[in-house]
A = this chain, B = another copy of it.
Amino acid sequence: MNSWKDLQDILLKFRNERNWEQFHNPKDLALALSIEVAELNELFLWKKPEEADVEKVKDELADVFAYAILLAEKYDLDINEIVKTKVAKNAEKYPVDKAKGTSKKYTEL
């Protein structure tokens, strides 16, 4: 199974067993997410892209998913739906004929 619903259930159980719901307002969850992302980025600091320690990447990326999934739950969001909707929007902002092979931001295309 590769469902994020499974993960959401596991994460909510972990949280509820510790009575942490009281701390998990959306603003602090987003802040927690930013801190985990920084820890992930630290694995690449002063290094070439291929030099990060993969075992540590697993740990930090897992924390990123954990907080992102908990934040989605706060708003009762369907993760597959919001990502698909956003990809469709991005396809309009970055049409293939203009965006192909360039890393420019859509505002500069």
Contacts and interface: CB of A to CB of B under 8 A. Distances in A.
Interface in A25-61: 25-28, 30-35, 37-50, 52, 54, 57-59, 61
Given A26-B44, A30-B44, A32-B46, 5 more contacts: A2-B80, A25-B49, A35-B45, A58-B86, A68-B68
Contacts of A7: 79-80, 83-84
B61 A18 contact: no
A62 to B, nearest CB: 4
Contacts of A66: 83, 86-87
Instruction: Describe A's contact surface by its main secondary structure.
Output: helix
Contact of A14 (B14, B31, B59, B90): B90
A18 B44 CA distance: 20
Nearest to A104: B46
